[in-house]
A and B are shown apart, each in its own frame.
With several copies, the nearest count.
Chain A
Amino acid sequence: MESPFWITESPIEPTALKKTLQGAASGAFASFEGWVRNHNEGKQVNALEYSAYKPLAEKEGARIIEEAKEKFAVEAATCVHRVGPLEIGDIAIWVGVSAPHRSASFEACRFIVDEIKARVPIWKREGYQDGLTDWINCPSQELRKPL
């Protein structure tokens, strides 16, 4: 079986991913996309880069998908996270869940997004209009370098 979670440097293609979750018994499909925004906490973002500790990220991500399948009555679930330099509007993360009923599809999709944001070793560095950068969720650095 292919892993239900992976890290990619390529653009994410939701339509192709969704096809892998289709089954004749599934009546509900919930999905989530994280898009690169032009701002964060009041600052104008003009460059952004994700990086990951790939082996552990993929292991932990797959565990999260398995947990979702145990907790909710789900047919299939997949998540892909992109790394590297991204532009405004690019998809950083895609989560899709198919299920016989809509409740399970929504709840599992939300669970997966929340857990991935909390547990998977992926980092985001934003570059702002003033030329400074920040590692999101890390205490500010005294010395900032351009992205």
Chain B
Amino acid sequence: MKIHVEYYAILKEQRGCSQENLDTDAATPRALYASLKGDHAFTLEDSDLKVAVNEDFASWDDALEEGDTVVFIPPVAGG
């Protein structure tokens, strides 16, 4: 399944890029993050993050669909 992932803030720094297209077996954002965390040694746990799918907040166990854009959201610090 083809998934588009965008990286921001500390994840962008740790991944070394701001976005990529993946071909993945991960059925949910949770599984996708687990796989990426293993590949890239991300320091944040999924419990530190929120997740967005297609430009809105989503649940970690929602089913991913072909062509979805996924963004993992590190702890925010605006203001």
Partner of A118, one of B56, B57, B71, B76: B76
Partner of B71, one of A34, A53, A93, A120: A53
Segment from A18-26, A69-77, A131-139 that makes contact with B: A131-139
Partner of A117, one of B8, B73, B76: B76
Size range of the interface on B? Answer: 20 to 34
Chain B residues with CB under 8 Å of A92's CB are 78-79
Chain A residues with CB under 8 Å of B36's CB are none
Q: Which of B56-79 contact A (CB under 8 A)?
A: 56-57, 71, 73-79
A123-B8, A139-B43, A145-B13 are known contacts. Are A53 and B52 too (CB-CB below 8 A)? yes
Q: Interface readout for A31-45 with B: 1 if CB under 8 Å, 0 if not?
A: 000100000000000
- A124 and B75 CA atoms in complex are apart in Å by 10
Q: Interface readout for B8-46 with A: 1 if CB under 8 Å, 0 if not?
A: 111001100000000000000000000000000001100
B23 to chain A, nearest CB (A): 23
Chain A residues with CB under 8 Å of B77's CB are 117, 122-124, 135-137
- A142 and B77 CA atoms in complex are apart in Å by 20
A83 to chain B, nearest CB (A): 9
A123-B8, A141-B10, A145-B13 are known contacts. Are A56 and B56 too (CB-CB below 8 A)? yes
Partner of A138, one of B10, B52, B55: B10
- A139 and B45 CA atoms in complex are apart in Å by 10
Q: Interface readout for A50-93 with B: 1 if CB under 8 Å, 0 if not?
A: 11110111011000000000000000000001000000000011
Q: Interface readout for A95-131 with B: 1 if CB under 8 Å, 0 if not?
A: 0000000100000000001001111111111000000
Besides A59-B56, A138-B75, 15 other A-B contacts (C-beta < 8 A): A51-B8, A52-B8, A53-B71, A53-B73, A56-B55, A56-B57, A56-B71, A60-B57, A116-B78, A116-B79, A121-B8, A121-B52, A123-B76, A124-B78, A125-B9
